[in-house]
Structure 1
Amino acid sequence: MPEGDTVYLAGKRLRAALAGRTLVRGELRHPRLVQHDLAGRTVLDVVSVGKHLLTRFDDGRSLHTHFRMDGSWHLYRPGMSWQRPAHEARAVLETGERVAVGFALHDMELVPTDQEDRLVGHLGPDLLDPDWSDAHAAEALRRFTARGASELGLVLLEQRVMAGVGNLYKAEVCFLLGLSPWTPVRDVPDPAAAIALSRTLLLRNADRPEQSTTGELGRGRQHWVFERSGQRCRRCGTRIRSAEQGDGIYARIAYWCPRCQPGPTP
């Protein structure tokens, strides 16, 4: 599932391409929405909230989309060939200059803009909210510490605690904190630092497609532990390990260095 910075960047690019422009084509190919034609509507804004995108129109409605595991938005010039098959397209929003195509968008809803909270109101503070404040940080901390018995790795992924962290940043935050992903939240020495670090890493990569937590962009040098199982730790040389964390549909692969990240393991 994409990280919050991926969704943020998609929203930024869609906003630049569509905001203030009138659609000459506005197809929604989701089974529940095929009867809606958005042609003639003007796009007012595109905003990201955690891993959710909201495209707002001048008729008081918003199109809500979520990437899940394989969704994406692509931008093209009119007449350009699409990079994914047409049968995967779930939304086509075209102006005179640009064509935005949403592929494999499993979650789509068209709702009154003043009812967006029905879809995103359950989320914790958005780590990439441009209006982030001390109040946002305090609320994230309250929700984080309330999960005292839960495992750190799982709480970092819990969008109801704070929105935006995915499996990549979960692994990297745990490494940089020096804690096993299975550490109970009540044993995290500085919960506020975990929240601040999560936000810092997302902000660092929010305006580019490359995601680096090491400060390097070279191939194979961007991450400390994520997807490096069996390779040597960049700090101590120990072999990186991996194991499943979580149950059912919420299970994800966790990566950690046994030496740099002491604590509980599976």
Structure 2
Amino acid sequence: MPEGDTVWLTAQRLHRALAAQVLTRSDLRVPRFATADLTGRTVLDVTPRGKHLLTRIEGGLTLHSHLRMDGSWQVYGSGERWRGGPAHQIRAILGNEAHTAVGYRLPVLELLRTADEEQVVGHLGPDLLGPDWDADIAVARLLSDPARPLGEALLDQRNLAGIGNVYKSELAFLARVTPWLPVGELPAGITERLVITAHRLLEANKNSFERRTTASTAAPTGSRRPGSRLHVYGREGMPCLRCGTPIRKADQGDGSRERPTYWCPGCQSGPTS
């Protein structure tokens, strides 16, 4: 599932291509909204909210989409070949005279009144990259269920919006605890530092699809060796950049979906399941 920084950057690209432009093409390929015609309306803005995308359109309408695991929005210039996937995977097309935005494999796509946006994003906690970011509220929500494993609490978008499996693993590594450690057992001050670090990391990566945590001011190794953009995520069996212990991988959660979790047994203390 894309992290909040990826969704933020996607929103910026869509906004640059569509905002303040009149739609000359509109095609929503989901049964419920297949007859909706947005042509002739002006796109007002494209706003990210956590991992949600809100495309606001003249007339009090919002196109709400969520990428989840496999979805993507691609922007093409006039006459440019579409390369995001086969035609049967296209769920939405929004075009103007200069650009066309194509949504591929979108598991969530719905047209609603802008006044009703809170029905789809009102449950979210403070957005790590949004104007509503509030570190104190995020800390309070994380600590509201002290028995919950850290990794699960970080992924719960009701606590803070924007963290996925990558940042979950990286943040636990930076805190030197495993993602299975109950939030209430974190050492004093660590929860506050985790929240500050999460905000700093997403801010540092929001302008690039090539995510890096090891070269940020929040990271202790500062490594730029090939294959070392991240401390632990995706590095199963490879040596830890800090201590050399092989990185391990396991699933975390209730089993309803894959939640790959990476950690270093040498650097991180706490339970491992």
Bucket of the pairwise TM-score, normalised by the shorter protein: over 0.9
Q: Which residue of 2 is the match for residue 187 of structure 1?
A: 185
Q: Which residue of 1 is the match for residue 103 of structure 2?
A: 102
Amino acid aligned to 2:179: P
| Percentage of pairs with the same residue | 49
Local SS of the residue matching 1:163 = coil
Q: Which residue of 2 is the match for residue 261 of structure 1?
A: 268
Deviations 1:188-218, CA, capped at 9 Å, x for gaps? 1221111111111111100111100001666
Q: Choose from 241, 246, 251 the match for 1:244.
A: 251
Q: Is the 8 A contact 2:24 2:97 kept in 1?
A: yes
Q: State whether structure 2 residue 129 is matched by structure 1 residue 122.
A: no
- Alignment partners' CA distance in 1, 2:99 and 2:205: 25
Amino acid aligned to 1:232: P
Q: Which residue of 1 is the match for residue 232 of structure 2?
A: 225
Q: Is the 8 A contact 2:126 2:132 kept in 1?
A: no
Q: Is the 8 A contact 1:172 1:224 kept in 2?
A: yes
Structure 1 position 247, deviation (Å): 1.1
Structure 1 position 46, deviation (Å): 0.3
Q: Is the 8 A contact 2:155 2:168 kept in 1?
A: yes
Q: Which residue of 1 is the match for residue 75 of structure 2?
A: 75
Q: Is the 8 A contact 2:61 2:112 kept in 1?
A: yes
Q: Is the 8 A contact 1:210 1:217 kept in 2?
A: no
Q: State whether structure 2 residue 167 is matched by structure 1 residue 169.
A: yes
Deviations 1:144-180, CA, capped at 9 Å, x for gaps? 1002100001111111110000000000000001011
Amino acid aligned to 2:229: Q
- Alignment partners' CA distance in 1, 2:6 and 2:225: 19
- Alignment partners' CA distance in 2, 1:229 and 1:118: 39
Local SS of the residue matching 1:8 = helix
Amino acid aligned to 2:159: V
Q: Which residue of 1 is the match for residue 59 of structure 2?
A: 59
Residues 149-168 of structure 1 aligned to structure 2 (within 5 Å): 149-168=147-166
Deviations 1:4-42, CA, capped at 9 Å, x for gaps? 100000001111111100000011111111010111110
Q: Is the 8 A contact 1:125 1:161 kept in 2?
A: yes
Local SS of the residue matching 2:26 = strand
Amino acid aligned to 2:81: S
Q: Which residue of 2 is the match for residue 30 of structure 1?
A: 30
Point out 4+ residue stretches in structure 1 off by more than 2 angstroms: 216-219, 248-251
Amino acid aligned to 1:158: D
Paired residue total: 263
Cα RMSD after superposing both structures: 1.2
- Alignment partners' CA distance in 1, 2:63 and 2:211: 27
Amino acid aligned to 1:234: L
Q: Which residue of 2 is the match for residue 42 of structure 1?
A: 42
Residues 9-20 of structure 1 aligned to structure 2 (within 5 Å): 9-20=9-20
- Alignment partners' CA distance in 2, 1:157 and 1:40: 39
Amino acid aligned to 1:214: T
Amino acid aligned to 1:253: P
- Would the alpha carbon gap of residues 208 and 218 (structure 1) be closer, same or farther in structure 2, given more than 3 Å must change? farther
